[in-house]
């Protein structure tokens, strides 16, 4: 049956935006139910050279799912979910949200297996987390989504449907010379040189991920939908640790949280699978939210602290956990905190409330931006996503704070300190502050790139951080990415202007 392509009307207004709060426009929209229907749409768009914007759950914060003309493909109908044949994987249609995958895996394995990457936004879709190589807090213990993607079914711009399992198609050095059977017709001949830039050894989701002798599946992971549409993904699931507790340590002085995490990282066997940081601004925002909600929240932040660190700690049993918590408490003390101020959650509701508190931070930032945007239309979320080599973290955090204070900007800093990856969010009240914040970020992009870091560790480049990618890899690196895209998508219809401008700027 032919797929219905609908004119874009006000009814679909929500499809013009993602969590970046950038607003776009579109001509048409379609809701395919399977890979074959995606292929039909792409064949039409290829013929017409019409740009295509693919949407999962639109929780992305880089504007990648925001259309600027052409066709929107919303994958929201692709919600098939089943167990893989070997019992240690799950196969999800593009739109299945992470929370559903996790529920399914829990049931399938009677609570013994899980999919570790936890980008905090549990409504993010299976296709979206592959395309963004999503991460989150537990990436400290388990690495990003990449390591868990076992197979993808991808539809190329010309409508070819390919199955790409991990471990089957490899580059020789920096060259792919392969023939890949298509599920719907002629095979795909891939003959290309790979870009020559070096991908930094930090947490990274900026641009195409390139390695010598790389696996082809890794090229699609993190490509932000610019090389193909992911119709389905198979994820490996792994054994849950026997016991995971949560701990939040509060510190009265700035930098004590950093000293604490640095000391923990230096211990061989601390058991932490995540380490999350909150600065004074984040705690202030949470306190405000707390007062607005008048006790209707599952968490309660104490007043008078400058920093906090949330840990997820894994252990074999209660005794082992007690030992680990003791070591952590000693480090809280050494860093200048009081273990008596720390909260420990063994399981169930209280542990869940810690996770909610963590998620409330970016949510509060997004809500604040949405509020400001009602009067200042041109303002979007201004959040950084840079990672640095571990030894550079303390001075990078100092740089963030000093630059923003000198400029008189309001800001919050939070996130994945375990991976030396903190999100800075400038809360700009007007266009002048917004522009000032942007120019400060551009300066950091340069400094962080020179340090061997990444301008985007997990959110991707989307449409908001193209300039930063250029700073990171230079004009030549970006041109090489554009040439590589042409091999998969010669007319540049897919995710046009995501990661880099399609037309040479």
Ligand X SMILES: Cc1cc2nc3c(=O)[nH]c(=O)nc-3n(C[C@H](O)[C@H](O)[C@H](O)COP(=O)(O)OP(=O)(O)OC[C@H]3O[C@@H](n4cnc5c(N)ncnc54)[C@H](O)[C@@H]3O)c2cc1C
Which of 34, 46, 125, 428 is in the footprint of ligand X by CB under 6 A? 125
Residue 338 vs residues 1, 300, 333, 334: alpha-carbon distances, Å? 66, 18, 6, 9
**492 in contact with ligand X (CB under 6 A):** no
251 in Cβ contact with 335 (< 8 Å): yes
Kindly state the helix (H) or strand (E) to which residue 178 belongs, with its residue range: strand 175-182
Residue 492 vs residues 150, 394, 430, 463: alpha-carbon distances, Å? 27, 41, 35, 15
Which of 34, 46, 57, 449 is in the footprint of ligand X by CB under 6 A? 57
| Per-residue contact string for residues 206-235; x = within reach of ligand X by CB under 6 A | ------------------xx---xx-----
Nearer to ligand X, 120 or 384 (CB): 120
CA distance between the termini of the chain: 41
Strand partners, 92: 81, 233
CB of 417 to ligand X, least distance (A): 13
CB of 356 to ligand X, least distance (A): 12
Nearer to ligand X, 361 or 396 (CB): 361
Which of 26, 90, 91, 94 is in the footprint of ligand X by CB under 6 A? 94
CB of 237 to ligand X, least distance (A): 18
Residues 6+ positions from 9 with CB-CB distance below 8 Å: none
| Per-residue contact string for residues 455-474; x = within reach of ligand X by CB under 6 A | ---xx--x------------
Nearer to ligand X, 126 or 244 (CB): 126
Rounded Cα gap, residues 204 and 249, in angstroms: 27
Which of 26, 90, 96, 124 is in the footprint of ligand X by CB under 6 A? 124
CB of 55 to ligand X, least distance (A): 5
Which of 46, 135, 454, 456 is in the footprint of ligand X by CB under 6 A? 135
CB of 415 to ligand X, least distance (A): 7
Interacting residues with ligand X between 18 and 47 (CB under 6 A): 18-19
Three-state DSSP at 80 gives coil
427 in Cβ contact with 28 (< 8 Å): no
Residue 503 vs residues 174, 176, 478, 500: alpha-carbon distances, Å? 25, 25, 12, 9
Interacting residues with ligand X between 333 and 362 (CB under 6 A): 362
Interacting residues with ligand X between 275 and 334 (CB under 6 A): none
Rounded Cα gap, residues 488 and 225, in angstroms: 11
Per DSSP, the chain holds a count of helices (H) and strands (E) of 12, 19
Which of 32, 67, 116, 119 is in the footprint of ligand X by CB under 6 A? 119
**Chain residues in the site for ligand X (CB under 6 A):** 18-19, 53-61, 64-65, 75, 94, 119-121, 124-125, 127-129, 131-132, 134-136, 224-225, 229-230, 362-363, 366, 458-459, 462, 495, 498
């Amino acid at each position: 049956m032919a797929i219905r392509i609908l004119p874009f009307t006000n009814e679909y207004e929500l499809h013009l935006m993602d969590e970046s709060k950038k607003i776009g426009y579109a001509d048409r929209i379609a809701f395919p139910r399977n890979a074959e229907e995606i292929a039909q749409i792409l064949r039409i768009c290829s013929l017409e050279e019409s740009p295509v914007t693919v949407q999962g759950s639109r929780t992305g914060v880089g504007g990648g799912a925001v259309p600027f003309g052409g066709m929107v493909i919303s994958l929201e109908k692709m919600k098939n979910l089943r167990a893989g044949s070997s019992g240690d994987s799950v196969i999800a249609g593009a739109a299945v949200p992470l929370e559903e995958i996790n529920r399914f895996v829990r049931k399938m394995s009677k609570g013994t297996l899980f999919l570790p990457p936890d980008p905090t936004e549990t409504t993010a879709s299976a296709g979206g987390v592959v395309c963004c190589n999503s991460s989150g807090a537990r990436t400290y213990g388990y690495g990003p989504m990449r390591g868990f993607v076992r197979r993808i079914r991808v539809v190329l711009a010309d409508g070819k449907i390919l199955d790409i399992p991990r471990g089957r198609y490899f580059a020789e050095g920096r060259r792919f010379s392969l023939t890949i059977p298509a599920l719907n017709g002629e095979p795909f001949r891939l003959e290309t040189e790979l870009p020559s830039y070096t991908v930094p050894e930090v947490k990274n989701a900026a641009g195409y991920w390139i390695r010598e002798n790389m696996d082809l599946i890794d090229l699609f992971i993190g490509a932000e939908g610019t090389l193909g549409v992911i119709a389905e993904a198979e994820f490996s699931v792994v054994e849950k640790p026997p016991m995971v507790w949560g701990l939040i340590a509060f510190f009265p002085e700035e930098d004590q949280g950093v000293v604490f995490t640095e000391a923990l990282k230096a211990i061989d066997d601390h058991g932490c699978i995540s380490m999350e940081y909150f600065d004074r601004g984040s705690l202030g925002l949470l306190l405000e939210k707390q007062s607005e909600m008048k006790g209707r929240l599952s968490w309660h932040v104490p007043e008078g602290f400058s920093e906090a660190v949330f840990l997820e700690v894994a252990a074999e049993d209660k005794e082992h956990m007690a030992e680990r918590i003791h070591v952590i408490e000693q480090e809280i003390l050494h860093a200048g905190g009081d273990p008596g101020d720390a909260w420990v959650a063994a399981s169930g509701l209280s542990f869940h409330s810690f996770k909610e508190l963590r998620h409330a931070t970016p949510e509060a930032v997004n809500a604040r931006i949405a509020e400001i945007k009602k009067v200042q239309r041109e303002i979007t979320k201004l959040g950084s996503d840079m990672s640095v080599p571990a030894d550079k973290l303390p001075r990078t955090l100092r740089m963030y704070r000093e630059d923003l204070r000198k400029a008189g900007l309001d800001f919050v800093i939070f996130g994945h300190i375990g991976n030396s990856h903190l999100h800075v969010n400038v809360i700009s009240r007007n266009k002048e502050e917004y522009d000032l914040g942007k120019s400060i970020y551009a300066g950091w992009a340069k400094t962080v790139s020179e340090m061997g870091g990444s301008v985007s560790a997990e959110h991707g480049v989307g449409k908001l951080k193209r300039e930063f990618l250029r700073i990171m890899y230079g004009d030549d690196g970006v041109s090489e990415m554009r040439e590589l895209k042409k091999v998969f998508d010669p007319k540049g219809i897919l995710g046009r202007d995501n990661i880099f401008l399609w037309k040479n700027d």
